[in-house]
Amino acid sequence: MGGRKSNIILLIVLAILAFVPWGLPRFYPYLIALMVTMGLLATSLDFVLGFGGIYQLHHAVFYGVGAYGAAVMIMKLGYNPWIGFLVGPLVATVLSFIIGLICIRLSKLYFGMLQISLGSLVWAIVYRWYSFTGGDDGIHGISMPSIIATSAGSYYFTMIVAGLSLLVMYRILNSPFGSTLQGIRDNPIRSQAIGVNVRRHQLAAMLIAGFFGGVAGVLFVVVDNSVFPDMMFWTLSLEITIMALLGGWLTFLGPMLGAAIMVSLRTFVSGITDYWTLIMGIVLMLVILFLPEGVLGYIFEVWKRRTPEGSSG
Domains identified in the chain and CATH numbers = 2-9+33-312 (1.10.3470)
Contact 121, 250 (CB under 8 A): no
pLDDT in tens, 66-122: 999 999 999 999 999 999 999 999 999 999 999 999 998 887 889 999 999 999 999
Average pLDDT score, the chain: 89
Positive/negative CA dihedral, 262, 265, 271, 277: negative
pLDDT value of position 6: 52
> Is residue 187 a contact partner of residue 180, using CB atoms and an 8 Å limit?
no
Task: At 226, give phi and psi (nearest 5°).
Answer: -160, 160
Query: What are 104-120's pLDDT values in tens digits?
Result: 888 788 999 999 999 99
Confidence of residue 4 (pLDDT cuts 50, 70, 90): low
Separation of alpha carbons 52 and 184, rounded Å: 7
Q: Please report the pLDDT score of residue 7 as a whole number.
A: 61
Of the listed ranges 33-42, 78-87, 94-103, 296-305, the least confidently predicted one is 296-305
- Model pLDDT for residues 235-284, shown as the tens digit of each residue: 899 899 989 988 888 889 899 999 998 898 888 887 787 777 787 778 77
Q: Is the Cα dihedral 19, 23, 25, 31 positive or negative?
A: negative
Q: What is the pLDDT of residue 312?
A: 43
Per-residue CA distances from 37 to 32, 69, 155 (Å): 9, 17, 10
| Amino acid 233: pLDDT | 92
The per-residue DSSP string of 252-301 comes to SSHHHHHHHHHHHIIIIITTT-TTHHHHHHHHHHHHHHH-TT-HHHHHHH
| For residue 156, pLDDT beyond 90 | yes
Q: Is 150 left (phi over 0), alpha (psi -120 to 50) or beta?
A: beta
- Which pTM value belongs to this model? 0.92
d(CA 307, CA 156) in angstroms, rounded, equals: 35
DSSP 8-state symbol, 249 = T
Average pLDDT of span 198-216 = 96
pLDDT value, residue 109: 87
Give, rounded to a whole angstrom, the gap between the first and last alpha carbons of the chain: 16
Q: How much of the chain, in percent, has pLDDT values that exceed 70?
A: 95
